[in-house]
């Protein structure tokens, strides 16, 4: 469980951005827990402004990948660069952990959660200025949560909490957002709210990586999909990545592909928050 104040991206520092470098590049990145590999030899580049869905069965390393990129977890090999700079905690990256990993009983109101996104820009002990509150209120407006500014975060629905975290990332002026299963456990209406916010992020040129268990949403709504199972099994357009061969290799017998007449529906029975 993470206390809301401990969510790591706010510790970041501004780092130089080198012209012509991809917003994010990984080269042969590996990560281990107690000597066992959770990720091996991961290499890819992101294009600034694109929206990528990361899929793979439970234990595939999706959360580990985000933690390594965010600088929360050290890699055990390889290199991560952000706009040509690295490694380190980058303030231009916002990491939104899975909802189940956050202690929502922490007593803090919505505006304060969003203000936490400003801390890296402010320095820990400087008081927020008018400009910082402007960022907070504008960010809440972008995600449609202005009227909830004074509510306790724990009183909100899952979808609303997710939107507050996106506002926090906006207030941080994040250019790359890593969201760990933001759609898991949301009803269709709340998922649509998140997608509306993603459209707004697209208009603002923010690069987004989302971990999800929903392969169909991944295929329909994202520019590229990344199929992970310890190793990178594919990264590109869903038509080329979600082939039955690759999906079988990632999910084994836990997946079926149904021909619906006007397309293929992918059904997997691995889900979500353990």
**Contact 83/92 with Cβ under 8 angstroms?**
yes
- Residue closer to ligand ADP (CB basis): 61 or 71: 61
How many whole angstroms separate alpha carbon 9 and alpha carbon 93? Answer: 7
Nearer to ligand ADP, 15 or 162 (CB): 162
Each residue of 132-161: b (16+ CB within 10 Å) or e? beebbbebbebbebeebbeebbeebebbbb
The residue ranges that bind ligand ADP (CB under 6 A) are 33-34, 38, 56, 58-64
Least distance between ligand ADP and beta carbon 145 (Å) = 27
Q: Give the number of other Cβ atoms within 10 Å of residue 20's Cβ.
A: 6
The partner in contact with residue 260, picked from Mg ion, ligand ADP, none with C-beta cut-offs of 5 to 8 angstroms by kind, is none
HSE-up of residue 97 (Cα within 13 Å, Cβ side) = 20
Binding mask 51-90 for Mg ion (x = CB under 5 A): -----------xx---------------------------
How many CA atoms lie less than 13 Å away from 46 in the CB half-sphere? Answer: 31
Shortest distance, position 227 Cβ to ligand ADP, whole Å: 11
Closer to ligand ADP at the Cβ: 167 or 211?
211
Q: Say if residues 67 and 114 touch (Cβ distance below 8 Å).
A: no
Q: Which residue has the tokens 């310890």?
A: 230
Number of residues that bind Mg ion (CB under 5 A): 2
Q: How far is the CB of 184 from Mg ion (least distance, A)?
A: 9
Orientation angle between helical segments 188-203 and 158-171, nearest 10 degrees: 10
**First vs last C-alpha separation in the chain:** 14
Asked if 238 touches Mg ion (CB under 5 A), the answer is no
CA distance 9 to 7: 6
Nearer to ligand ADP, 139 or 229 (CB): 229
| Complex with ligand ADP: residue 102 or 114, whichever CB lies closer | 102
Chosen from Mg ion, ligand ADP, none, partner binding at 33 (C-beta under 5 to 8 Å by type): ligand ADP
Taking CB within 5 to 8 Å according to partner kind, which of ligand ADP, Mg ion, none is near residue 56?
ligand ADP
User: Which CB, 60 or 241, lies closer to Mg ion?
Assistant: 60
- Least Å distance, CB 123 to Mg ion, is 32
Cα dist. 221→54, 161, 212 in Å?
12, 21, 12
Closest separation in Å from C-beta 125 to ligand ADP = 31
Note the residues at the interface with Mg ion (CB under 5 A).
62-63
């Amino acid at each position: 469980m993470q206390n809301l104040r401990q969510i790591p991206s706010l510790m970041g520092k501004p780092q130089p951005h080198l012209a012509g470098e991809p917003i994010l590049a990984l080269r042969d990145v590996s990560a281990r827990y107690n000597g066992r590999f959770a990720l091996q030899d991961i290499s890819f580049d992101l294009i600034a402004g694109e929206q990528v869905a990361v899929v793979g069965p439970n234990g595939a390393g999706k959360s580990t990948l985000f933690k390594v990129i965010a600088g929360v977890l050290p890699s055990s090999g390889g290199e991560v660069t952000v706009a040509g700079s690295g490694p380190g905690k980058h303030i231009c990256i916002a990491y939104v952990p899975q909802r189940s990993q956050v202690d929502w009983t922490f007593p803090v109101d919505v505006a304060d959660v969003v203000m936490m996104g400003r801390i890296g820009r402010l320095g820990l002990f400087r008081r927020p200025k008018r400009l910082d509150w402007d960022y907070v209120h504008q960010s809440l407006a972008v995600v449609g949560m202005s009227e909830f500014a004074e509510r306790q975060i724990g009183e909100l629905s899952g979808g609303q909490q997710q939107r507050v975290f996106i506002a926090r990332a906006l207030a941080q002026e994040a250019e790359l957002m890593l969201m760990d299963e933001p759609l898991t456990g949301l009803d269709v209406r709340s998922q649509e709210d998140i997608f509306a916010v993603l459209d707004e992020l697209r208009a603002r040129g923010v690069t987004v990586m989302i971990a999800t268990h929903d392969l169909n949403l991944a295929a329909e709504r994202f520019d590229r999909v990344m199929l992970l199972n310890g190793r990178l099994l594919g990264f590109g357009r869903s038509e080329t990545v979600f082939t039955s061969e690759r999906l079988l290799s990632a999910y084994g017998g836990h997946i079926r592909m149904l021909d619906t007449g006007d397309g293929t529906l992918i059904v997997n029975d691995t889900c979500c928050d353990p």
